[in-house]
Chain A
């Protein structure tokens, strides 16, 4: 017996016509959204991801120092404090800093030059950049008046070459998230295509594709990436390496998606309404694209969301190993690579800060992916 208590079993009841009607005419997308909204962790994850992408889009606006601005006089500065009050009045300011060491422990400390105040303000002028790649401007979210911000601010400290960690982190977010997106796009295209072929035609073609997937998946990933990345010519430009890395990463990523798509195809093929469509006289193309595909787009989206963090981790690990992006490109992996020695861990722990966005982004993507997967099937 069909035992599922269908929402609004008697659509014509007078008790709550508004709600029942709303549910009755709600499309699949709407139902998914309603269910997704109830998933609190996923909603939190979605907000975090949203913020990340806002940060990535306006990276130059949120940063205040050019990412590769070095300053020999400002190495290993620990995160700086902003003084909010000047006497009793609200007037945020910083003092110029010099790196120094604690004479007893040799720990790096900031030596503040209390004689000079540098006012800090929002929407200040700084280095020039193009907002969203088109609008030339020099307005930044925070900045200083008087001296250039690059030489005065160090909100999250600086690294061994005196580069500002905060600004680099913001720009690294852009690179890392973008590489994730690009990698996933390639994976989805490959995965949906090969998985679809595999699931729809079945038989021999299916066997070939499935065996290929098994072979690809059986190769240990890190050595494979290393091999492929090592094969990239060292003299390639940053952007070309970037593209090549994306492709390398997605060459592994598509297998999971291909399996998801194939599985859904096989499952949906057995549904009565597919047969019904065929009996009515629909051509295969219509059956596939109008009847079968829409049923699992949400699953593909969920799988994609779950694949994104893998891509990000992959890029981070590759770059961390020194095989991925190379300076002057900035990514989370590149930044972490610089924190590879014991000195930074022990003496300048702020160099490890890129770990925070990596963990945050991955958790957020996973929560959203879970939420989407649960919401994708309102009948499960």
Chain B
């Protein structure tokens, strides 16, 4: 420890005053940040993590206000309490960017699209340079020297971009934000935060909007910067893997309070607060047994207006002591050294790191604990489910290799790049480029890849939301006919729609805010011929029970539900028409860890009960590992590897799969690793390279890879790989 804390937050309180009531977003938070160390703040959505960060910089939006506590920042000339400074004080302006740098979640919206990256970066450099000189000389001279120093400012901007690993920084200065990729922009954003040479960096979900590989690279970068500049870092995230990889100290927040804090190793290996324990358990870890039910935290975070009395977590806690937890608020309890927790339990349950992942020993505790507040009810029996057609009968004669439900062959979808109105498009984007796979009845097949790999386009082609350029999608319809979905006419397609349904990623935009739950789930019934309202009501009731929502919720509008509940409604809608195939496009990536686990459990449960077949599109390998039986890895519109999930993830044969796996941050601080993947060697080029698409990013590339495109080859039963060196590469095993 040793070093004096750079920043000490003491009993910080930030409330939001609205007409409906006061939201205590941050309610008595205390922590220290020391130079050269990283404090990770974790918690589910709505726990007050971001508001804490914004409070430190005093940029809380109205009607929010800091109502108490201290934010003590150590500066060269002593300690200053940021919470006590007037809102427009010069000191605050100096501190922002000068001593505390801030990195936001969305790099795209944090830059102005009308100025070049260079202009914005140079402005930051100039501002802070002016401030630093202004201390010595008066401002006028500072400004004069500034003008002469344009070249110096530029040089500093280039240096900064270079420091954060932006290739060819001089050229990038002239680029507009929308011309750069998300990863590059986030680097530029970090460069901007570093422009004033801050000693403290606040990163608010810095990698949430990024791909898993880009995320790993940015995390590496932040680590390097910290080492070189002895930065103190506050890292805010909901991703426990990221925290485990990055943080020295961890603060777990729940409803505006710190539930538990301590050293990262302690928090991850011997957490004492039931909330921390439950969070850790619900991570679908790569170590989990495939398709094992994940332990979950029941229910969702209560709205801050409805903060439960006593311990805020008691409504979801499995160790609640009636008469204590729901009445008295627990005090901060120092357990050992700097490990402290807010819990009444004298002897918190023992928590061990089991070989299969985290668990309290009784890993079977899955159902809710009977609390009246829990909104998720036990799913009802699916016996009543048949509406029009009977459930798909089990394969009559168990043939050795049953005909797959869906056979995709040579699927191609191109998009024109650039304006089409005048003249020709600049080029074509081969979003899906000769993709083929089989989907067998009752299985879960995962399409995996980073964004832009074509996995979503491929899945949309199967739904015929997008019409492919060429290729075939043979679907064995319920009637027994085999239909080619790629070429079927719109009129005939409508009859097939009920059999293939979709679950969307965004639980907010996928439900029509104008319709009640009854109308939303009843819609597929209505358009597919269930005219009687009573019949629809009955059926929706069943479906709600099936996805674990109360039938009384039928008359409510989507705005009354949390993200996880909305996702359940989306699932119910997909099931309404009695589909056989469900395409799930990142169905849990917008959800909090605990809700993610609940949703995954539900999906697996439904599959078993209804005999569904899933096409699961995801970039998150730990989720995929958990739910999928087979995996297809896509890169640049092509399939690069496919095979049974267990074997692909345990022993990847394509360097891209290995890279993806290595990039997943492991939720174990003892297994920290640098990522160290070489960045793309050249710019993204529209004319495709003649050789392997992955060649420019591949650490194992040879001259053959650059010249000759590899074909998808069968290397062992069920395993296909698109790599020249699949058999002889030594790839790191996760």
- Residues of A at the B interface (CB closer than 8 Å) are 1-16, 20, 23-28, 31, 38, 207, 271-273, 275-283, 286, 291, 294-295, 378-379
Contact = CB atoms under 8 A, between A and B. Distances in A.
Given A24-B557, A281-B494, 20 more contacts: A2-B45, A3-B46, A5-B304, A6-B560, A6-B561, A6-B563, A9-B46, A10-B300, A10-B303, A20-B560, A25-B556, A25-B560, A28-B513, A273-B509, A276-B502, A279-B465, A280-B528, A281-B498, A282-B527, A291-B512
Nearest to A26: B557
Contacts of B501: 279-280
A361 B504 CA distance: 47
Secondary structure call for the B interface: loop
Contacts of B510: 271-273, 276
A10 B527 contact: no
A295 B497 contact: no
A268 to B, nearest CB: 10
Name, among B562, B570, B590, the residue most crowded by chain A CB atoms within 10 Å (CB to CB): B562
15 contacts: A9-B301, A27-B514, A28-B513, A28-B514, A31-B559, A272-B505, A272-B509, A273-B509, A275-B504, A276-B570, A276-B573, A280-B497, A280-B573, A281-B524, A295-B513
Contacts of B306: 9-10, 13, 15-16, 20
Given A2-B590, A279-B501, A13 B302 contact: yes
A330 B733 CA distance: 88
Contact of B208 (A1, A7, A8, A16): A1
Nearest to A377: B513
A29 B527 CA distance: 25
A10 B299 contact: yes
A71 B516 CA distance: 65
B557 A280 contact: no
Nearest to B25: A5
A282 B465 CA distance: 13
Contacts of A10: 299-303, 306, 373, 375, 562
Contact of B527 (A13, A26, A272, A286): A286
A272 B506 contact: yes
B417 interface: no
B545 interface: no
**Size class of the contact patch on chain B:** 35 or more
B572 to A, nearest CB: 12
B508 interface: yes
B502 A279 contact: yes
B140 interface: no
Contacts of B3: none
A11 B561 contact: yes
A7 B303 contact: yes
Secondary structure call for the A interface: loop
B61 interface: no
A20 B523 CA distance: 26
A272 B375 contact: no
B511 interface: yes
Contacts, number: 149
A291 B304 CA distance: 32
B615 to A, nearest CB: 14
Contacts of A16: 305-306
Contacts of A9: 46, 300-303, 306, 562
Contacts of B304: 5
Contact of B560 (A4, A23, A271, A279): A23
B24 interface: no
Query: Top 5 A-B pairs ranked by shortest CB distance?
Result: A24-B560, A272-B510, A9-B303, A281-B497, A24-B556
A207 B512 CA distance: 29
Nearest to A30: B557
Contact of A280 (B19, B205, B238, B527): B527
A199 B561 CA distance: 31
Interface in B290-311: 299-306, 308
Contacts of A31: 559
B93 to A, nearest CB: 27
B527 A8 contact: no
B555 interface: yes
B463 interface: yes
A280 B523 contact: yes
A38 B18 CA distance: 12
B351 interface: no
Contacts of A24: 553, 556-557, 559-560
B506 to A, nearest CB: 6
Contacts of B421: 207
B465 A295 contact: no
A79 B454 CA distance: 78
B465 A278 contact: yes
Nearest to B562: A9
Interface in B305-355: 305-306, 308
Contacts of B238: 1
B590 A11 contact: no
Nearest to B503: A276
Contacts of B372: 12, 14
B592 interface: yes
Interface in B216-241: 238
Contacts of A4: 508
B494 to A, nearest CB: 5
B563 A2 contact: yes
A379 B559 contact: yes
Contacts of B509: 271-273
Name, among A9, A14, A26, A294, the residue most crowded by chain B CB atoms within 10 Å (CB to CB): A9
Name, among A26, A280, A379, the residue most crowded by chain B CB atoms within 10 Å (CB to CB): A280
B511 A7 contact: no
B302 A6 contact: no
Contacts of A272: 504-506, 509-510
B373 A25 contact: no
Given A281-B528, A286-B527, A2 B514 contact: no
A11 B300 CA distance: 10
A9 B559 CA distance: 9
A38 B502 CA distance: 39
B671 to A, nearest CB: 25
Contacts of A23: 559-560
A27 B558 CA distance: 10
A293 B82 CA distance: 49
Nearest to B299: A10
A8 B372 CA distance: 16
Contacts of B573: 276, 280
A133 to B, nearest CB: 38
A280 B524 contact: yes
A1 B592 contact: yes
B46 A5 contact: yes
A23 B301 CA distance: 18
Contacts of A379: 513, 559
Nearest to B208: A1
Nearest to A4: B508
Contacts of A27: 514, 516, 557
B374 A7 contact: no
B577 interface: yes
A5 B577 contact: no
B599 interface: no
A75 to B, nearest CB: 55
B557 A28 contact: yes
A273 B465 contact: no
B551 to A, nearest CB: 13
Given A9-B562, A273-B509, A295 B498 contact: no
